[in-house]
């Protein structure tokens, strides 16, 4: 047993200690299960052992399953094999439960997913009284369900209502709430945890669970003849619609609880295992886990950091420009313990930028999320100024001044006159080519793009842009800074709009183009939301103002002239701006009306300006949104703007809210299968234009049967929610 330690004691109460030999966190893996199977056998056979205290030698009790192992199941395991896989862990828990000896889980730290399922299999649970010791079953967040008894035992212990609340939200709860919900039996101070466990064992508790007593009747055996129960499931099913129709996990969880509570215990476990197997062999769980967990962690741990460059740390940062972006960057930097010089054209403007931090902190203090002294210290780290001289000694500059090449060039020169020759100079531009901005720099190899997203304190993604001359060291140091901020970096190469802005344009232009085709505005918005976009394209345009995408178009026309084809929604945007004069929310209204104190609603004049025509097909609209963005992403990979599929996927999900069930724009293509994707895109191109036309490069990949991720099996067509 490498991951478990069994310690006997004179009183017959053995302690079984979870202690992963390979990692700092206990996880459910094949090796762990094998150890536990062995330990359970030993314990059952040893007459000297009268009871078991299960605890952990790590800070946490146990995290969930090893997602890296789970994600490999897709495309390799058949449904039957996936079921067998789930049944092994299920049997492990069952063996504990039916060992004939009482087990008490002394939960000394967080217990999530498989960790909490293990605790649920024990006969009694004592949770350490520590706010960090949260318990819960968050599997829904990765497209799965707790498949080794989690839905069944939680339903039986906490009742359907509480169980569904926890399982469908995936939220974890602290000790006080866990006790209130009866999902733990006691809460105890850390130093009393083991004693209390021992005390419970010495009451000679019955090691037979109630569901193993002959004559036990499942709590919802009467099924739908109990109106309160059937009404509860009706309402719960309705609430699933709020989560959208693209994620099978919530539905599987609801069905598992509904069916499980009507069945004998072991049948319920089997039904749960079958639902788990379906999810595990579905591309959606694979997509979510791969991008939002594995690729995200890898990016944060430096997947794209050049090897061999010594680790660096930013102690002092200069933020140039105290507007919305600069203010946010100053806040997140100060929050990471970095000294910030926040510079703007005059001190009041710079101070206004700092006031943003004050505002954010005020809200956090109100919610009790930060102590006053810590907030004060954070604020003290930000120095608002108009004096470039204060930039002396900075390790890194983030320039966030007005998006104008001339202004940026002047700012660059003024800053470089003061800052150390070793400092990295980063521009937060979202549209201007980095290589062009770098022309103003004396040290173009130290010049890089660090593109934050708004609002900076809430958006986790940072797009790092390599100019033509940007060096490896600058990249490494930019990534080190982003790691200090605990954000998720992707690395792209210089090009108009880089990656995220460029592909995001496809979404808003597609929406605007549909309006011109005669698709009702509500349908456009609902179709985008139906595929999982958080906000409809017309609502997005109102927030952005149509000026912004039009500026990009005009710039391209100025640079490329006739060679440039304006994107699909250009005409509609120009009409909104020039003729209809409804450019944005800020300017009084756009595609929507914004009644004072009321809820926004689509502008009634839209149908008159863009007459509705029959014949739209919502499934095709949904497909267009996904395909337009995925196709442009493929072009970014082909052109070398993107270098990895992981960057593409992370950027799309965390940059502009591409739906996570797809795994991101590139995972989406792999999920559909490149060959199918190309075929569908061809037919869209015929109907809607060359933006959907696959390139020779993509056709070649399709012909060769390739995928972007190695060994990526396309999903069987009938299993794709939106193909």
Partner 1 sequence: MEAYIYDHVRTPRGKGRPDGALHEITSVEMVTQLLTALRDRNDLDTSLLDDVIIGMAQPVGEQGGVLARAAVLQAGYAQTVAGQQIHRFCATGLDAVSLIAAQVHSGMIQAGIGGGVESMSRTVMGYDSGAWTSDPKVAFGNYYAPQGIGADIIATLDGITRDDVDQFAVESQRKAANAWENGYFRRSIVPVVDALGEVVLDHDEHMRPGTTVESLAKLKPAFEGFGKAGFEAVAKAKYPEIEDLSYVHHGGNSSGIVDGSGIVLVGSKEFGQKAGLKARGRIRSYANIGSEPTIMLTAPAAVSRKAIKAGGMTDKDIDLWELNEAFASVVLRYQREMNIPDDKINVNGGAIAMGHPLGATGAMILGTVLDELERRDLETGLITLCAANGLGTAAIIERV
Report how far apart, in Å, the C-alpha atoms of 292 and of each of 66, 142, 392 are: 14, 8, 39
Tokens of 249: 């996990």
Q: Which is nearer to partner 1, 27 or 626 (CB)?
A: 626
Virtual torsion, Cα 483, 486, 490, 492, nearest 10 deg: -60
For residues 658 and 668, give the distance between their C-alpha atoms in angstroms, rounded to a whole number: 10
Site residues for partner 1 per CB under 8 A: 224-225, 227, 230-231, 233-242, 245, 251, 254-255, 258, 520-523, 525-527, 530, 599, 601-602, 618
Q: Cα separations (Å) of 592 from 238, 508, 570, 658?
A: 28, 15, 18, 22
Query: In whole angstroms, how close is the CB of 586 to partner 1 at the nearest point?
Result: 22
Active-site hit among 123, 451, 509, 680: 451
**116 is written with which tokens?**
């909490």
Nearer to partner 1, 395 or 525 (CB): 525
Separation of alpha carbons 227 and 501, rounded Å = 52
**Least distance (Å) from partner 1 to the CB of residue 722?**
12
In the complex, minimum distance from the CB of residue 718 to partner 1, in angstroms, rounded to a whole number: 13
Residue 599 Cβ, how far from partner 1 at the closest point, in Å?
A: 8
Q: Of 532, 71, 533, 531, which is closest to residue 293 (Cα–Cα)?
A: 71
Which residues, in sequence order, are bridge partners of residue 73? none
Let me know if 451 is a catalytic residue.
yes
Are the C-beta atoms of 269 and 554 separated by less than 8 Å? no
Please tell me the distance from the alpha carbon of residue 642 to that of residue 650, in angstroms, as a whole number: 12
- Complex with partner 1: residue 63 or 257, whichever CB lies closer: 257
Query: Tokens 């595929």 appear where?
Result: 531
CB of 255 to partner 1, least distance (A): 5
Helix 696-703 / helix 618-639 crossing angle, nearest 10 deg? 100
Nearer to partner 1, 211 or 245 (CB): 245
Assess contact for 524 and 508: CB atoms under 8 A. Answer: no
Which residues are within 8 A (CB) of 516 and not within 5 positions of it... i.e. 6 or more apart? 569, 571, 572, 610
DSSP state of 46: -
- The conformation of residue 72, written as its DSSP 8-state character, comes to G
DSSP string, 560-588: HGGGPPPPTTHHHHHIIIIIS---BTTTT
**Beta carbons of 546 and 590 less than 8 angstroms apart:** yes
> What's the closest the beta carbon of residue 626 comes to partner 1, in angstroms?
16
Backbone angles phi, psi at 56, to 5 degrees: -130, 150
Structure token digits, residue 179: 């006790």
Which among 184, 40, 167, 185 is positioned nearest to 110, based on CA atoms? 184
Nearer Cβ to partner 1 (39/167): 167
Residues 49, 55, 59: CA angle, nearest 5 degrees = 160
Q: Which of 205/219 has CB closer to partner 1? A: 219
Nearer to partner 1, 98 or 251 (CB): 251
Min separation Cβ 258 and partner 1, Å = 5
Minimal distance in Å, beta carbon 85 to partner 1? 23
Judged by beta carbon, residue 67 or residue 166, the one nearer partner 1 is 166
Q: Which is nearer to partner 1, 89 or 160 (CB)?
A: 160
Closer of 275 and 708 to partner 1 (Cβ): 275
Query: Beta-strand (E) ranges in 224-321?
Result: 316-320
Give min distance, CB of 229 to partner 1, in A.
8
To partner 1, the closest distance from the beta carbon of 232 in angstroms equals 8
Residue written as token pair 């201007």: 432
Characterize the bridge pairing of strands 4-7 and 13-18. Answer: antiparallel
User: Which one, of 606, 674, 586, 686, lies nearest residue 634 by Cα?
Assistant: 674
| 3-state SS class at 417 | coil
> Is-contact 516 566, C-beta < 8 A?
no
Alpha helices in 122-264 (DSSP H): 150-158, 160-169, 175-180, 193-201, 227-240, 248-260
CA 415 from chain centre, in angstroms, equals 36
Radius of gyration, alpha carbons of the chain = 28
Q: Annotated active-site positions, please? A: 451
């Amino acid at each position: 047993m490498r991951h478990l330690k069994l310690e006997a004691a004179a009183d017959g109460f053995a302690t079984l200690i979870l202690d992963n030999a390979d990692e700092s966190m206990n996880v459910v893996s094949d090796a762990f299960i094998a150890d536990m199977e062995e330990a359970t056998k030993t314990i059952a056979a040893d007459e000297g052992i009268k009871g078991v205290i299960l605890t952990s030698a790590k800070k946490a009790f146990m995290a969930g399953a090893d997602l890296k192992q789970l994600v490999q199941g897709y495309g390799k395991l058949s449904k039957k094999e996936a079921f067998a896989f789930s049944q092994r862990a299920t049997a492990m828990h069952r063996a504990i439960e039916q060992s004939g000896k009482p087990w008490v889980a002394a939960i000394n730290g967080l217990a999530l997913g498989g960790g909490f399922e293990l605790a649920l299999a024990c006969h009694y649970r004592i949770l350490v009284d520590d706010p960090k010791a949260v318990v819960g079953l968050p599997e829904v967040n990765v497209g799965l369900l707790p498949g080794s008894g989690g839905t069944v035992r939680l339903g039986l212990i906490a009742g359907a209502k509480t169980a569904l609340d926890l399982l469908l939200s995936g939220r974890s709860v602290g000790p006080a709430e866990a006790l209130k919900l009866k999902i733990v039996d006691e809460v105890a101070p850390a130093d009393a945890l083991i004693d209390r466990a021992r005390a419970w064992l010495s009451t000679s508790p019955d090691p037979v669970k109630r569901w193993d007593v002959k004559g036990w009747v499942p709590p919802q055996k009467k099924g739908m003849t109990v109106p309160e129960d059937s009404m509860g499931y009706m309402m719960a099913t309705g609430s699933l619609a709020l989560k959208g129709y693209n994620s099978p996990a919530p539905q599987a969880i609801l069905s598992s609880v509904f069916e499980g509570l009507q069945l004998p215990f072991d049948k319920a476990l089997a039904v749960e295992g079958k639902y788990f197997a379906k999810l595990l062999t579905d591309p959606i769980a694979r997509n979510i886990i791969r991008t939002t967990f594995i690729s995200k962690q890898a990016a944060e741990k430096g997947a794209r950091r050049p090897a061999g460059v010594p680790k660096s740390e930013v102690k002092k940062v200069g933020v140039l420009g105290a507007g919305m972006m600069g203010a946010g960057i100053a806040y997140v930097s100060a929050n990471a313990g970095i000294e910030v010089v926040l510079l703007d054209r005059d001190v009041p403007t710079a101070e206004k930028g700092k006031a943003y931090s004050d505002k954010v902190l005020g809200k956090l203090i109100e919610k009790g999320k930060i102590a006053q002294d810590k907030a004060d210290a954070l604020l003290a780290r930000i120095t608002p100024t108009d004096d470039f001289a204060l930039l002396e000694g900075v390790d890194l500059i983030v320039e966030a001044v007005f998006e104008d090449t001339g202004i940026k060039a002047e700012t660059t020169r003024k800053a470089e006159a003061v800052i150390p020759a070793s400092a990295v100079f980063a521009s937060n531009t979202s549209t201007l080519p980095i290589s062009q901005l770098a022309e103003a720099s004396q040290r173009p190899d130290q010049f890089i793009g660090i593109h934050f997203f708004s609002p900076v304190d809430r958006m986790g993604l940072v797009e790092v842009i390599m100019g033509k001359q940007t060096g490896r060291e600058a990249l490494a140091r930019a990534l080190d800074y982003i790691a200090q901020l605990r954000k998720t970096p992707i690395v792209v190469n210089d090009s108009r709009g880089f990656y995220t802005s460029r592909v995001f344009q496809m979404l808003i232009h597609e929406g605007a183009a549909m309006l011109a085709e005669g698709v009702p505005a509500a349908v456009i918005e609902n179709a985008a939301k139906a595929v999982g976009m958080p906000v409809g394209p017309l609502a997005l345009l109102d927030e952005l103002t149509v000026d912004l995408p039009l500026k990009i178009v005009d710039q391209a026309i100025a640079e490329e002239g006739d060679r440039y084809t304006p994107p699909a929604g250009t005409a509609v945007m120009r009409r909104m701006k020039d003729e209809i004069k409804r450019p944005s929310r800020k300017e009084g209204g756009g595609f929507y009306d914004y009644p004072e104190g009321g809820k926004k609603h689509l502008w009634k004049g839209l149908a008159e300006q863009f007459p509705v025509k029959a014949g739209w097909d919502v499934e095709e609209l949904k497909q267009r949104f996904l395909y337009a963005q995925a196709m442009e992403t493929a072009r970014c990979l082909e052109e070398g703007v993107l270098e990895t599929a992981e960057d593409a996927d992370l950027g799309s999900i965390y940059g502009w809210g591409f739906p996570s069930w797809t795994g991101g724009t590139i995972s989406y293509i792999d999920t559909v299968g490149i060959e199918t994707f190309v075929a569908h895109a061809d037919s869209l191109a015929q109907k809607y234009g060359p933006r959907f036309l696959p390139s020779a490069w993509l056709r070649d990949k399709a012909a060769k049967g390739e995928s972007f991720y190695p060994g990526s099996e396309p999903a069987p067509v009938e299993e794709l929610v939106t193909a």
